[in-house]
Structure formats: C-alpha cells, structure tokens
Structure 1
Amino acid sequence: MAEIQRINGEYFKDHRGSLLFFNQLDMREIVRFYEIFPSDPKLIRGWQGHRTEKKWFYCTKGSFIINTVLIDNFDKPSKSLVTSKYILNDTFPEVLLVPQGHATAIRAMEKNARLQVYSNFTLEESKNDDYRFDLEEWPADWKT
C-alpha cells in the first residue's frame, strides 16, 4: 500500500514580488479539484475514505489539521486502527498526498481557512468509491 507523502513547495522572491512553486508535484493523475471553506472551525469533516481514489491537500489560507487512517477492511474496519495527524498551513508550502485505502477527517484551525483538494477521480467515479465512517470510529488528535 502506498504511503502518505508530504510534498514541499518552495518560494522565490525578488524585486518583482514572490513566487510559490511545487516543482516536485506530479499532477499527471489529477483530473479535478475543489476547495473547502469551513463555516465553523469547530466542525470536523470526516471520516471519509476511498478504496482506490487518491487525494492531494493544499492549504491556501489559514491552517488545517488532517487526521488519516489506513483502512484494513472497508466493509467492516477494525476499531483499533492507528491514526496519523498532519498540519497544513498557508505559511509553509506543502501538499499532502493521501493515497488510496485511507480515510481522512479534517478540521480548520481558524475562521476563513481554505483547503484545496485535488483528486485523480471524476466526481462520478468518486461517488462510487466513497466510504463514510462515524467520527468516533477512531481516536483523532485535534490539538494544535
């Protein structure tokens, strides 16, 4: 099973301004993207998983906590799965690649935060590969 990857971006700055770039990000698989604008930083989106779809996450404003879990059985997952926590923010350019087989739970850390999500599936394909789990299914760390 593929592992979660952090893909670091870089900055360039001169008298004309600044440039943010991700030269190490291979976008050939990406077919669509959307942006999440949470209405309340206390709300958590998830757990949502995919057997075969990959997701790339990039924070364009504010910061987010993303908890992930590798699902052992999508029909009846174990209650003892271990979660991992990642923090994305707009001050450090980073894309988080969550490969197939994982579920995510996401929370903004402040108001007006924005998170771009890229996918290698069309919307129809994604709907057929969408698995939802109760927020209490696995322990997640929401502390900053």
Structure 2
Amino acid sequence: MKPNLIEGGKHVDERGKLEFFNDFDMSPIKRVYFTTHFDTDVVRAWQGHTIESRWFYCVKGSFTVKLVEIDNWESPSDNLKVYEYKLTADKQQILYIPKGFANGFKALEKDAKLMILSNYGFNEIENDQIRFDQNKWTQWGN
C-alpha cells in the first residue's frame, strides 16, 4: 500500500459548521493520541514502523509531513523518495501512512496540534519503532 490523503468535507450554514470524513473507515483504529508543537523549531523525524499503520489529522495550525518507504530496515538507502504533504486544520484531510514507511513532521505554526491514530494499542507490539537521523533523507529548514 502507498500513503494517501483521505478527503473529508464540511457544510456551513447559519447554525454553524459541520466537518466530516464519510469515506474514512475507522474499523482498524485502536488508539488515538495528540502531539502539540509549542514552536516551529521542533522536528520529529524519522520514525518508522514495520507492522503498525498510522493516520494523521491536523486539528490546529499546520504541519509539513514527510514519508519514505524503507527498503532495508537495518541499512536503508540514503536516496529514498521523499513524499511530502502539508496538513492544515483549515482542510479536512487525513493522511494514511501504511506500515513500511518512516515519517517525520514539523509544525509550520506555533502551537500546532496533530491527531495521530494507530491500528495497534499502546505497547501491543514490541520492537516496531525504528528511528533514523532527522536529516537522513531531507533537510527540514526553519
């Protein structure tokens, strides 16, 4: 599987705004958590999973999210293709990150907040969190 954006929608009228993800199948989800970046200097990269899949949704502000498909978990190539996405709270999009990918993300605005969903519970699987140097495949900038 490849990463993909799941598009949502919204409806606005005099009563308020309704935001929805009617095409998002939540049946595999077992865990939800949030991360808030207090400033735009923090980079969380690179973390990969051989078993776990994740879904990212920006609930406040905006983030740059980058992904690479790992070719060899013990010694990945330095020139892997980098997929780049911008998630923003103004747009109803959920980014699906399948197993086999490493991800990194950086807030583009102070106090940006990302909701992360997982298809495994906390500590349900062992040794599935593999980390790499944050600048292995890309420079993050300021």
Alpha carbons of structure 1 residues 77 and 29: separation in structure 2 relative to 1, 3 Å: same
Cα distance, 1:142 vs. partner? 5.2
| Runs (4+) off by over 3 Å | 140-143
Could you state the TM-score of these two structures normalised by the residue count of structure 2? 0.94
The answer as to whether partners of 1:7 and 1:24 remain within 8 angstroms in 2 is yes
The answer as to whether partners of 2:5 and 2:94 remain within 8 angstroms in 1 is yes
Cα distance, 1:99 vs. partner? 0.3
The answer as to whether partners of 1:64 and 1:108 remain within 8 angstroms in 2 is yes
Cα distance, 1:123 vs. partner? 1.3
- Unpaired runs of at least 5, structure 2: none
Could you state the TM-score of these two structures normalised by the residue count of structure 1? 0.93
Matched, 1:76 2:75: yes
For 1:20 and 1:126, the matched residues in 2 are separated by 33
Cα distance, 1:127 vs. partner? 4.7
For 2:44 and 2:125, the matched residues in 1 are separated by 17
Cα distance, 1:124 vs. partner? 0.8
For 1:28 and 1:106, the matched residues in 2 are separated by 25
> Percent identity among equivalent residues?
39
Cα distance, 1:139 vs. partner? 1.8
Map 1:123-142 onto structure 2 (within 5 A).
123-140=122-139
How many residues are aligned here?
142
Q: Secondary structure at the match of 1:75?
A: coil
String of CA shifts for 1:64-119, please: whole Å, max 9, x gaps.
Answer: 00010000011111112111110000111100000000000100001111000000
Q: Secondary structure at the match of 1:121?
A: coil
For 2:39 and 2:103, the matched residues in 1 are separated by 18
